[in-house]
Amino acid sequence: MRIVLVGPPGAGKGTQAAFLAKNLSIPHISTGDLFRANISQGTELGKQAKSYMDAGNLVPDEVTIAMARDRMSRPDAEKGFLLDGFPRNVSQAEALDKALAADGVKLDAVLDLEIPEDEVVRRIAGRRICRNDSAHVFHVANQPPKTEGVCDICGGELYQRDDDSEETVRRRLEVYHTQTEPIIDHYKAQGLVVTISALGTVTEVTDRAMEALRSDEAA
Ligand SMILES: [Zn+2]
């Protein structure tokens, strides 16, 4: 199956992508990993991406698309792949359509993780991270530490990252609405969109997604 996963920040997209790719035995292709891999291996595309990033600029769509296309052409992606974080705007989606058509393949589904905006804010703005180790993560409502502001694991001070403030989250959601959400209409016109709720536990959402993809495939 060739799948694109879309959803706002805070919908648990990365986590779901990893589980779904494993369940479907297809590679999970995320733009973050693509950038890291190309840069660390010193590929031509990696060098280009790095020069933009070092200058504090966004990596142009052509570079991102070329990296994704290179990754999708590897043997392990022959039977399918799950794209996460790409395409993130309509022009990338159009470029992806062209690249796939040139390779004689097409997408099977665009899985859209839906979540109310207030829930996104609650999930992200409630996060507290330990100053000693960023892997020590708590949540004021879902997973509160035994003592407020203190890490259960090492006793370190818990804090809220700037990226997790309500103001930043609302700004990221706005960017998602204006730039990424239009790709859902783009793919709806192709009859590819499968929408599921991203509420509930990680397992519940994975099960819901698998079920929706199966019935979509059968339809
Ligand atoms: Zn800690």
Distance in Å, CA 171 to ligand 1 centroid: 29
Strand-pair partners of 137:
129
Whole-number pLDDT of residue 218: 74
Distance in Å, CA 30 to ligand 1 centroid: 28
Whole-number pLDDT of residue 163: 87
Q: What φ, ψ does residue 216 adopt, rounded to 5°?
A: -70, -40
Q: Which residues are near ligand 1, the ion (C-beta closer than 5 Å)? A: 130, 132-133, 136, 151, 153-154, 156
Q: What φ, ψ does residue 53 adopt, rounded to 5°?
A: -65, -40
Whole-number pLDDT of residue 116: 95
Positions in the chain short of pLDDT 50: none
Q: Which residues contact 55 (CB under 8 A, 6 or more apart)?
A: none
**CB-based contact 14:129 (threshold 8 Å):** no
- Matching residue, tokens 């995320």: 30
Whole-number pLDDT of residue 217: 78
Residues labelled catalytic? 13, 88, 127, 161, 172
Q: What is the per-residue pLDDT across 160-213, written as a single tens digit (0 to 9) for each?
A: 998 899 999 999 999 999 999 999 999 999 999 999 999 999 999 999 999 999
pTM over 0.85: yes
Whole-number pLDDT of residue 1: 92
Q: How far apart are CA 181 and CA 63, in angstroms?
A: 22
Structure token pair of residue 215? 């019935």
Whole-number pLDDT of residue 219: 67
Distance in Å, CA 78 to ligand 1 centroid: 42
Q: Parallel, antiparallel, or unpaired: how do β-strands 109-114 and 2-6 relate?
A: parallel
